[in-house]
Amino acid sequence: MDTVRGIGVSPGRSLGPLVRTTPAAPEPRRERVADADRDAAADSIAVAAEAVSDELRRAGQTVSGTGKEILETTAQMATDPALVGPAQAKVRDEGLAPARAVWEAASDVAATFASIGGYLAGRVRDVEDVRDRIIAELTGAGMPGVPLRAEPFVLLADDLAPADTALLDPEHVRAILTRGGGPTSHTAILARSLGIPAVVALGRAAQVLRDGVDVLVDGTSGVVVVDPDAAGRASVRPRRAARPFDGVGRTSDGHRVELLANVGDAATARDAAAAGAEGVGLFRTEFAFANAEVEPSLEAQVAAYLPVFASFAGRKVVIRTLDAGADKPLPFLTGESEANPALGVRGLRTSWEHPDVLDRQLAAIAAAAGRAEADVWVMAPMVATVEETDAFVAACARHGLERAGVMVEIPAAALLAGPILARASFASLGTNDLVQYTMAADRMLGDVARLTTAWQPAVLRLVEATCLGGAQQARPVGVCGEAAADPALACVLLGLGASSLSMGSRALGDVAAALARTSLDECRRLARIATDAESAEAARALVLAEVDWADELG
């Protein structure tokens, strides 16, 4: 048996024949059109782009939450004038055939994104996906992506486009393997939300995987076994439904810990409420306006917030102000030319030039809170200094929003947690970005994926520093990053001092089960083991060796 190893990003074991994604059509030849046909050929690009966009939007109506947001964003990119306009110009000015013109225009956009680096470099895959879809529409070739097959299978891809991950069917895709990607890529996040085992960053090791051959995928350890023996096959359990959650998070000795949900819209909020979430730990407001070319009106914002608040009447809802910038650009708020968007004007920093946008959002949040029964807390993303905290808390107070907090995503904020929380009412650790900025590793880049895990002891020590700052000021510190969805890591985070954990709603049952089997003192002991380890791999292995429920919870 051949065995290869990547990074496990979605737990569980699964078995099935290997199937590769349908490849995109090859690079079109540099053919030309007759002068008399140039206008019609140029127009065909816009028609094809609209067709692709419409199909993605229709697909978006069949899913909810993160999948819906991804499809709508990709649909918008398909008709982006920055892509369609230059492609049409290449037809009209140079006489290039439409398919070739789209290829060259998209290559220019992708090259620009790659040269900028950071989050925009991570969106090169999105540009290539849109390019391939438009070319397939123009030429009549098969649409690239996840194939349609009658029997279940294990899917192998270089790195799935976001639009593909959004349409994955857990009944047919038993597991996902990718050569690239990382723990916080779209593929990883969607796989976890769907309960599909996944291993990413296989790299060249994927060369031993052969079409049609059964592979055993362990999404916890990151191990993939080709043509496993009888014992390996017997170790695979049927895919189970999400573990139920009774709505009360507690350790085995009765210590209460709030188990909350991350949501992006009314649909995900309803799903989270149905799953028993005690409240919302992160309401991502920018997802409601991902396709907005202009700032949404106050009324439009109130209409977007009210259904989420209504789903959690009488319970806490932590709403984050617009986290625009980097991989989430908003035309009315963010610039277009930054050398490194991940380190640029994003999150709360957009209020430096656009304080009116933040002011109107706070007014909308206050208006919606006044018409709902939820306990509304407000937090700002990408806070780095005490001065920024002061300014945000004061802005919230002007609108009658008394629970004003900050996200801790930057090491500077973790190290200054004491004075920051002397001003703010609470803090929430965004572990995805905290990992990225601590390890100097782009969380969208597969080549450094092994660094981008919240098990890194350096990251855990920053979590501990933040929680200590909260304890000094008697302020709660929660976790709303992907780390909270890992049952073992959830115990460590609680042991480090976290007061609440927020995650995708599917993870609530497993995290609750792990906490219910572990005492608070044991969580603290596990936290010490993890922070004293010398590597992420050692931290994780040592903690898992200490608990008796690791196999049961996958």
Residue 443 has pLDDT above 80, yes or no: no
Contact by Cβ (8 Å): 257, 491: no
| Helix spans in 157-251 (H) | 162-165, 186-194, 230-234
Mind listing the pLDDT tens digit for each residue in 253-271?
999 999 999 998 888 899 8
Mind listing the pLDDT tens digit for each residue in 263-320?
988 888 998 999 999 999 999 988 766 556 678 889 989 999 999 999 999 999 999 9
Contact by Cβ (8 Å): 89, 36: no
The tokens describing 473, both together, are 């000021």
Looking up tokens 């199909």, which residue turns up?
Answer: 55
Computed on alpha carbons and rounded to an integer, the radius of gyration of the chain in Å comes to 24
What does the CA dihedral 275, 280, 284, 289 come to, rounded to 10 degrees? Answer: 70
pLDDT of residue 444: 62
Contact by Cβ (8 Å): 223, 205: no
Q: Which residues contact 477 (CB under 8 A, 6 or more apart)?
A: 408, 417, 421, 426, 427, 428, 429, 466, 467, 469, 470, 497, 498, 499
Phi/psi at 383 (5° precision): -85, 135
Mind listing the pLDDT tens digit for each residue in 156-202?
998 787 777 767 778 789 999 998 877 767 777 778 778 889 998 88
Mean model confidence pLDDT for the chain: 89
CB atoms within 10 A of CB 341: 25
Determine the residue type at 198. A
**Quick one: which of 408, 406, 403 has its CA closest to 374?**
403
Three-state secondary-structure class, residue 35: helix
| Helix spans in 13-166 (H) | 38-60, 65-78, 81-94, 98-116, 118-122, 124-139, 162-165
Of the two residues 394 and 74, the one the predictor is more confident about is: 394
Work out the pLDDT band at 337, boundaries 50, 70, 90: low
Of the two residues 194 and 520, the one the predictor is more confident about is: 520
Three-state secondary-structure class, residue 22: strand
What is the C-alpha to C-alpha distance for residues 91 and 266, in angstroms, rounded to an integer? 43
Phi/psi at 342 (5° precision): -65, -25
pLDDT of residue 325: 64
Residue 60 has pLDDT above 90, yes or no: no
Phi/psi at 428 (5° precision): -135, 125
Q: What is the pLDDT averaged over residues 461-483? A: 96
Known catalytic residues? 186, 480
pLDDT of residue 9: 82
Cα(first)–Cα(last) distance of the chain, in Å? Answer: 23
Helix (H) or strand (E) holding 15: strand 13-20
Work out the pLDDT band at 381, boundaries 50, 70, 90: very high
What is the C-alpha to C-alpha distance for residues 402 and 313, in angstroms, rounded to an integer? 18
Mind listing the pLDDT tens digit for each residue in 128-161?
889 999 999 999 887 787 876 778 999 999 878 7
What is the C-alpha to C-alpha distance for residues 379 and 223, in angstroms, rounded to an integer? 39
Residue 490 has pLDDT above 80, yes or no: yes
What is the C-alpha to C-alpha distance for residues 60 and 91, in angstroms, rounded to an integer? 31
Regarding pTM above 0.75, the answer is: no
Contact by Cβ (8 Å): 278, 262: no
Sheet with 223-226, strands from edge to edge, namely 3-5, 223-226, 214-218, 13-20, 153-157, 173-178, 198-200, 7-10
